[in-house]
Amino acid sequence: MEYTVQGLAKLAGISARTLRYYDEIGLLKPARINASGYRIYGQKEIERLQQILFYRELGVGLEKISNIVGAPDFSQVKALREHREQLLKKRKQLNVLIANVDKTLAWAEGRISMTDKEKFEGFKQQMLDDNEKKYGQEIRAKYGDEQVNKSYQKLKNMTEEQFAEVEKLGSSVLAALKSALATGDPAGELAQQTADLHRQWLSYYWDSYTKEAHAGVAQMYVDDERFTAYYDRIQPGAAAFLRDAVFIYTGVNK
């Protein structure tokens, strides 16, 4: 198929002026000029224009594009794979921006707090990849992705009052655990009260509470040394004691 300027322009969703400009700067020359001086574009030009638009969409300057697609060793397939990768990156960034809007909305309605830094998340390009690579992996691998990640987010978004209340609840869990430990009975009333406090505390972090998840976290307190260390400060074996109490409390036994 052959196209005049406006034909190709309409096809590609750009202006005729843009095509003339691309001709002028040598980025995209028509296949030929007809007897009346009209620009006529053919199949090759269509493919080249597609490449140009992909690069443009990704924010590459026209001169750089010219160098890239004009290079003698330019590979369309290779370029397309590159485009794919870059577009996926862009989509990721868009998702961050959307999350930002949601968060800002929640903040504007007073439901959560928000740092200045968070208010600009998603606007800056790049850099996030590195963070993702550096930290993302180990942290998520250990914690089990989704749930823990979400908890952390929710924690970051609390208002100060909420945060204070959580802190209070957290320390009362520790206090109750201390008393319960003295009895030595994870099924006893004190231990069960501790488990209940622990449930309340967790509910601040989670959207939905389930017995299974609660028991899962209790088990993690024993499996993950960071948590174990935290609870065992009170007394060695405290983490295991809390886990036993929660298992009994929830009725879940793994």
Partner DNA sequence: ATACACCTTAACGCTGCGTCAAGGTCAATG
Partner DNA sequence: CATTGACCTTGACGCAGCGTTAAGGTGTAT
Q: Which residues sit at the interface with its own copies, rule CB under 8 A?
A: 1, 11-14, 46-47, 50, 53-54, 57, 76-77, 80-81, 83-84, 87-88, 90-91, 94-95, 97-98, 101-102, 104-105, 108-109, 116-117, 119-120, 123-125
Which ranges constitute the DSSP H helices of the chain?
5-12, 16-24, 43-57, 62-70, 76-108, 128-131, 137-143, 146-156, 160-183, 189-203, 211-223, 225-232, 238-250
CB of 14 to its own copies, least distance (A): 8
Name the one range near DNA by CB under 7 A: 30-38, 140-148, 204-212, 218-226. Answer: 30-38
Query: Considering the rule CB under 7 A, would residue 128 count as an interface residue with DNA?
Result: no
Instruction: Report CA torsion sign: 55, 56, 60, 63.
Output: positive
CB of 30 to DNA, least distance (A): 7
* CA–CA dist 154, 95 (Å, integer): 18
Contact (CB, 8 A) for 151 and 206: yes
The kind and range of the H/E element at 39 are strand 39-40
Name the one range near DNA by CB under 7 A: 35-43, 95-103, 120-128, 170-178. Answer: 35-43
**Which of 12, 31, 58, 62 touches DNA by CB under 7 A?**
62
Query: Considering the rule CB under 7 A, would residue 61 count as an interface residue with DNA?
Result: yes
57 vs 212 by CB, closer to its own copies: 57
* CA–CA dist 1, 43 (Å, integer): 7
Q: Which single residue is written with the structure tokens 């290779």? A: 78
> SS3 for 236?
coil
Query: Considering the rule CB under 7 A, would residue 21 count as an interface residue with DNA?
Result: yes
Which string of DSSP letters, residue by residue, matches 57-100? HTT--HHHHHHHHHSTT--HHHHHHHHHHHHHHHHHHHHHHHHH
41 vs 231 by CB, closer to DNA: 41
CB of 139 to DNA, least distance (A): 30
Q: How many residues of this chain bind DNA (CB under 7 A)?
A: 20
CB of 74 to DNA, least distance (A): 18
> SS3 for 204?
coil
Query: Considering the rule CB under 7 A, would residue 69 count as an interface residue with DNA?
Result: no
Amino acid (one-letter) located at 148? V
1 vs 71 by CB, closer to its own copies: 1
Name the one range near DNA by CB under 7 A: 59-67, 73-81, 165-173, 192-200. Answer: 59-67
- Sequence-distant (6+) residues with CB within 8 A of 8 are 19, 41, 45, 46, 49
CB of 4 to DNA, least distance (A): 3
88 vs 139 by CB, closer to its own copies: 88
- The residue ranges that bind DNA (CB under 7 A) are 4-7, 15-18, 20-21, 34-39, 56, 61-63
